Amino acid sequence: MNATTTDLLDCTLRDGGYYTLWDFPRSLVETYLTSMSKLPVATVELGYCNVAKPGYAGQYYYLTPETTAWAKGLLSPHQRLAIMLDEKSVEPSQVAELLEPHRPYVDLVRIAVAPGRLRHSVELCQELHKLDLPVGLNIMYLSKYWDNVASLDSIDAAISSSETLALVDSYGSCTPQQVARAVSDLVTLYPSARIGFHGHDNLGLAVANSLAAIDGGASVIDGTVTGMGRGPGNTRTETFIVQQAHGRNEDVDYSALAGAIGAFDELLAEHRWGTNLVYMISGAAGLPQNNVMDWLGKNRYSMPAIIHALRGDAELSVEIPKVPALAPPVESIDQVIVIGGGASVADHTDAITRYADTEGATVIHATTRHLAVASKLPAGQYLAVAGDNPHAELSTAQRKQFSAVIVPTGPRFPLEALDYGDVPVREVPPFEINDPTDHLGPVSDVAPLALALGAATALGAREVVLVGFDGYSHATLAQQELVRETQDLISAFRAKHPSVEIRSATRTLYDVPTLSIYAPRAASGVSEGIN
């Protein structure tokens, strides 16, 4: 079965916003939209129209009429501009206030909805119809119902309330045969309906699944430029355009297509979306993208560790044996300097070195990002290794500067990837806010800062000085989670250990008392709050 025509809907900014928190430079968006205007793209979905929520999200999560008007003006007259509502976040009573200002510019409002909440989405559709706005429904989690689409509650009402009903392979776990059957079943049941498909690329099948959807009778296919989208990403718009044009012997403005791709080069280099072994396994198992994105984004676990956890066989990669506990030194320690991964460490290396020498501070590295600094700092340093993805080995020169490598108490992932040489390994209970709730299999998700603070406590430090805990002025989703984790640890440590001063000596966006790495010790003031 083949649809007579298949429209392409590009949703790069909306789906790709999961990597950028929906912030995109205006110049990038202008290049993208101008390129889209010259390509065989029927609809461009710009982003979300949303009610206010906690946390930060950017311009293309909270679309304004000014933004939709500008975008509409850059598209060709025959192209449609779409925006999306998140069904679980919007009530029917809010629809008119949210969407009325966009009516002159928006040609389609799509609603993302879980299968069990179709009834509520139909109520939203009815409110949108009052505004004379066309509606599309995106039903998520296709892998859970592909073999029985007719069983979905309120499917009749959903079909009659929307101009297009798209099936979404949310976990990227469906095969072409499953997609073709699901679409074909819907087309057979509702021959006058426009059925769409939105694929994710966990198994590398997004394009194949999109083509299978067309064979099943789909009228609309979703794509994104370079596949940019949540988790491993989506059907690549450029691949779909080239394949369709070749099959139909149609001309394409390849300069415009190259311009659209090039607009996202820097973001692709930064965020590196696309499938990998972890996403493949999560897709095959039908697991949500969020947990996988979080684990990968923390950059402290290797792919094998995450894979074992996803498969439920983490005991294959866990070590229980005890190593000696970190013992406090014979002489008391006044200060511990904890080095984080921020750029300020490289910017202020000389000042950090002078400070450590002057104060006789003990240094704990909560990252391997700045190990080059170790050779300039006093001997007796410690390296805190959380997770099993240390990213760097200790050189011969660096080993001479370290008293120990610190690991969390077991169970923990093996740390064979790091070449310790003759540096002893010592374990320490990490500082924890509560009982750990995040695990990969039986292993607690320990932050490097939590391990460093546990070590500072074990060493009997009376003051903790943070350097390189800069924060993020424009945080990705993964970085935003790390910000929350770090801030919670700092705040909890201050509350639990009021006799131990904790300060940042380099510029920081965290809420922590500060001192200057450049100020004379006797004259250094402490300021509360964010610098």
- What is the rounded CA–CA span in Å between residue 101 and residue 121? 21
Q: Rounded to a whole number, what is the distance in angstroms from the first to the last CA of the chain?
A: 63
**Domain segments of the chain: what residues?**
7-285, 335-523
Tokens of 116: 């069990």
Whether pLDDT at 2 is above 50: no
Per-residue pLDDT reduced to its tens digit, 358-378: 999 999 999 988 998 999 999
- The fraction of the chain above a pLDDT of 70, given in percent, is 88
- What is the rounded CA–CA span in Å between residue 300 and residue 386? 7
Q: Quick check: helix, strand or coil at residue 425?
A: strand
Residue with tokens 């994710």: 200
Mean pLDDT of the chain: 88
Per-residue pLDDT reduced to its tens digit, 207-218: 999 999 999 999
Whether pLDDT at 505 is above 80: yes
Given the DSSP bridges, would you call strands 501-504 and 463-467 parallel, antiparallel or unpaired?
parallel
Omega before 411 cis (within 30°)?
Answer: yes
Closest CA to 260 of 8, 9, 10: 10
Model confidence at 438, pLDDT cuts 50, 70, 90, reads low
- Torsional sign, CA 353, 359, 364, 367: negative
Per-residue pLDDT reduced to its tens digit, 161-204: 999 999 999 999 999 999 999 999 999 999 999 999 999 999 99
pTM: 0.68
CATH topology of domain 7-285: TIM Barrel (3.20.20)
- Crossing angle of helices 254-262 and 26-36, in 10° steps, is 160
**Alpha helices (H) in 21-101, listed in sequence order:** 26-36, 65-74, 95-99
Model confidence at 479, pLDDT cuts 50, 70, 90, reads confident
Q: Check residue 240 and give its pLDDT.
A: 96
Q: Check residue 529 and give its pLDDT.
A: 40
